[in-house]
Amino acid sequence: MNKWTRRAFLTVGGLVGGGLALGVGVAAFAPNRLGIRPEPAPGDAPQPTTWVRIATDDRITVLVPHAEMGQGSHTALAMMVAEELDADWSKVAVEEAPPLDEYANGHILRGFFADRLVVPEPLVRGLEWVAYQGMASYGMQITGGSISIRGTGWYGLRVAGAAAKEMLVEAAAAQWGVDPAECTARASVVTHAASGRSASYGALATAAATRSPPMHPRLKPRAEYAIVGRPQPRFDVPLKVDGRARYAVDVRLPGMLHAAIVAAPVHGGRLQAVDAAAAERVPGVQRVVRLERAVAVVATDGWTAQRAIARLRPTFTDEGHGGVTSETQYAQQAAALDGDGDGDGDGGDERRAEGDVARALADARGGGGSVVEAEYRVPYLAHATLEPMSATVRVADGRCEIWTGVQDPLRTRALAAERLGLEREQVIVHNCLLGGGFGRRLPNEHDYVDQAVQIARELAPAPVQLVWSREEDTQQDYYRPAVLARLRGAVDAGGRALAWDARYSDSPMGNGALPPYAFPHQRVRMYGVKGHLRTGYWRAVDHTQHGFFGECFVDELAYAAKRDPFEFRRELLANAPRARAVLERVAALAGWGTPVPAGRGRGIAVVESYGSAVAQVIEVEAPAGDAPFRVVHVWCAVDCGPVINPMTAHEQIEGGILHGLSAALGEEITVREGRVEQSNFGDYELLRLPDAPPVTIEFLSTDSAIGGLGEPGLPPVAPALANALYAATGRRVRRLPLRKYWA
């Protein structure tokens, strides 16, 4: 990662690491975030607030500073603006905001730290300004962490819509010479009932855009919502159905060349030698471009480039990793967890230490209780996006223009500028719809863009489109880390929980490894073992691994205590009311405790992540012997606070469940001779349609703070499934994927 500017480092470091420390001057005199707008281009519609344009024909455009990668957030964010704006929904459209500093994610911190960052009202203005400055300095316009709705939407776009409405009302009142309090706004029209006058938003937009946005406009209580909370069709679906949607692979430019690439098969390896002659003899090949860790062929069309690159026989170094296998990596992790050699794993990064774990374990052993020890492990996972990595770049006349699909176009602009020695303003990024992201297209993980920039520089001024093969996509990913976990727990003779002792071979950023359960004695340690494979963010990040570890192990303790797994959890969640509520609701939905047919079993799990609580029950059918098991049904209860668009909310949770099933059942990246063994969908097993079970989802109506939805549906899946298999067969599987290790 490139170094942050000093200003960005101090800004964000102060907010995250040192709490909120804003001087009175900053809080009182910071500019209003809602008034930050780019200079309008000729013909642009009036823009009263940062993310809202209103044309004179009444068309309202919401500028969303997040990518659309199938999550439906563009529609939901537009709904939040339209609700507070009191707009006519039929006249609302949405565009992805361009990658400009004005659209940096200044509300990302409040979204992530809403439960720990209580901001007094007088300081909100200063916080938003300082956070915005930090994100703009670094260049962050990110989509990830389920932050679009609960961050930018809740703290930014809602307020922008409400502010724009007040500005329109003030503009109308000024024209009519009346008190704004006497005017009302509804369905994109401002009305003064006493005089019978009215004006459309379009007629008032120009005058409204000259007014100063209010800092604290009135926000509606939920009881007044007319758009939010009601299902609304997504803006992007018709475009995808009729083919108008444009992805990075769809870009076509005059004179465009096409590039194929092959990188060092052992991650970290460098290009040693390549004989380009065989490829250069293929008609249509323009050039062979050597990069530090890869080699590319540029041709007049993509098929020619792919055929030509197959003729290359490049050699790469392995940087000493040629003997690495999956088993040697797990052995390295196991050695780290062993610590000083006594198997207790002394040392590590202690994340939680409460009570006296060693004494509690001893008391359980000597007092008729039970001590359970288990080792779990999960593999590397690929992102396996439907659309492979792709970028089109033109370097000409001291400028760079990029067409791609990324989860942070503003940071992409900065990285491309640095690579080419340009100023940020000399780089233009056109962000397309994303054919899947899940973390793969985040900053510093979109290496394909950097490759395309380097290749296009060699072929300037011709535009060059780089498209990775599926093999390259599978073997050159930034994988979800493989993790080893060792857990010990104790229950007393009466079946009450005593101790939780956990060691993990990773160092997650968040709190995913910390159990929500009220064990009186707890210890959690991290060892941060790093292999040579590139790793990065994957959907739900560390909650995917630690949801599996924690929810499977608490299930083991419940059985050791001779307690019902639901009741055991419920008792331990007395201080976690959201988790307890969804646990109780999903148990009721699934008919927990009622008999199941022979050969079937139900498993339960609950995980809080990204501001939402999700509980699931999975029922499986597992015939005797080694016959394949079948997922019969998934029940799910969700508390995400207010639901913006019920349609997309349901889609996101259901998508997370199916993604989680795919990973739990069959996905695995393995290593041999330092290389990734899998190369395509033929040997990287994704969930198929016949294996997708019925899913029942219910959202709880609560007053909880708003949470995310893109990721929280995934973490409970694997543990609920593994627990169901144990309930059905008495066989405990502690490794993923389950289909492989069930056999």
Nearest CA to 161 among 272, 100, 84, 103? 84
Residue 186 has pLDDT above 70, yes or no: yes
Residue 342 has pLDDT above 70, yes or no: no
Please say whether the structural domain 31-104+139-242 has been given the CATH code 3.30.365.10.
yes
How long is the chain? 743
pLDDT digits (tens, 9 = 90+) for 471-521: 999 999 999 999 999 999 999 999 999 999 999 999 887 789 999 999 999
Residue 265 has pLDDT above 60, yes or no: yes
Task: Give yes or no on whether 248-319+389-467 and 326-381+479-742 have one common fold.
Answer: yes
Q: Which contiguous run of DSSP H or E holds residue 203?
A: helix 201-208
Three-state DSSP at 738 gives helix
**Tell me, what's the pLDDT at 124?**
78
Give me the chain's average pLDDT, please: 93
What's the Cα-to-Cα distance from 739 to each of 41, 552, 721, 743, rounded to whole Å? 57, 17, 11, 7
Partners of 486 in the beta sheet?
A: 375, 503
Residue 29 has pLDDT above 70, yes or no: no
Contact, 426 vs 153, CB < 8 A?
Answer: no
Q: Say which CATH topology domain 326-381+479-742 has.
A: Aldehyde Oxidoreductase; domain 4 (3.30.365)
Domain edges within the chain: 31-104+139-242, 248-319+389-467, 326-381+479-742
**Tell me, what's the pLDDT at 346?**
63
Residue partners of 176: CB distance under 8 A and separation at least 6:
183, 192, 195, 197
Measured CA to CA, the distance from residue 606 to residue 628 in angstroms comes to 26
Both structure tokens of 334: 């196991």
Contact, 227 vs 234, CB < 8 A?
Answer: no
Measured CA to CA, the distance from residue 257 to residue 463 in angstroms comes to 6
Measured CA to CA, the distance from residue 551 to residue 719 in angstroms comes to 6
β 257-263/464-467 pair status? parallel
Q: Which contiguous run of DSSP H or E holds residue 729?
A: helix 717-729
Residue 119 has pLDDT above 90, yes or no: no
Tokens 């969303």 correspond to: 64
**Tell me, what's the pLDDT at 341?**
42
Measured CA to CA, the distance from residue 210 to residue 99 in angstroms comes to 24
Q: Where in 158-210 does DSSP place strands (E)?
A: 183-186, 189-192, 197-200
Measured CA to CA, the distance from residue 548 to residue 336 in angstroms comes to 21
Measured CA to CA, the distance from residue 489 to residue 497 in angstroms comes to 8
Residue partners of 651: CB distance under 8 A and separation at least 6:
72
- From 17-31, 224-238, 637-651, the region with the lowest mean pLDDT: 17-31
Measured CA to CA, the distance from residue 610 to residue 144 in angstroms comes to 10
Rounded to 5 degrees, φ, ψ at 537 are: -75, 140
Contact, 298 vs 289, CB < 8 A?
Answer: yes
* Omega within 30 of 0 (cis) for the link into 461: yes
pLDDT digits (tens, 9 = 90+) for 85-108: 999 999 999 999 999 999 999 888
Nearest CA to 611 among 707, 680, 504? 707
Residue 18 has pLDDT above 50, yes or no: no
Question: Following CA atoms 679, 685, 690, 691 in sequence, which dihedral angle do they give, to the nearest 10 degrees?
Answer: -160
Measured CA to CA, the distance from residue 382 to residue 668 in angstroms comes to 8
Give mean pLDDT, residues 220-230.
Answer: 96
CATH of domain 248-319+389-467: 3.30.365.10
Give mean pLDDT, residues 720-724.
Answer: 98
User: In the structure, what pLDDT confidence band is assigned to residue 227 with cuts at 50, 70 and 90?
Assistant: very high
Contact, 608 vs 615, CB < 8 A?
Answer: no
Rounded to 5 degrees, φ, ψ at 489 are: -145, 160
Instruction: State the first-to-last Cα distance of the chain, in angstroms, to the nearest integer.
Output: 42
DSSP 631: E
What's the Cα-to-Cα distance from 185 to each of 80, 154, 156, 669, rounded to whole Å? 16, 21, 21, 56
- Give burial (CB, 10 Å; 0-12/13-18/19+) of 491: buried
Give mean pLDDT, residues 706-712.
Answer: 95
DSSP 407: S
Q: Where in 412-477 does DSSP place strands (E)?
A: 427-431, 464-467
Distance of CA 666 to the CA centre of its chain: 22
β 60-64/285-290 pair status? unpaired
Residue partners of 302: CB distance under 8 A and separation at least 6:
258, 260, 465, 467
- What angle separates helix 717-729 from helix 646-665, to the nearest 10 degrees? 60
**Tell me, what's the pLDDT at 410?**
95
Measured CA to CA, the distance from residue 313 to residue 486 in angstroms comes to 44
Residue 310 has pLDDT above 90, yes or no: yes
Nearest CA to 519 among 559, 553, 489, 545? 489
pLDDT digits (tens, 9 = 90+) for 659-703: 999 999 999 999 999 999 999 999 999 999 999 999 999 999 999
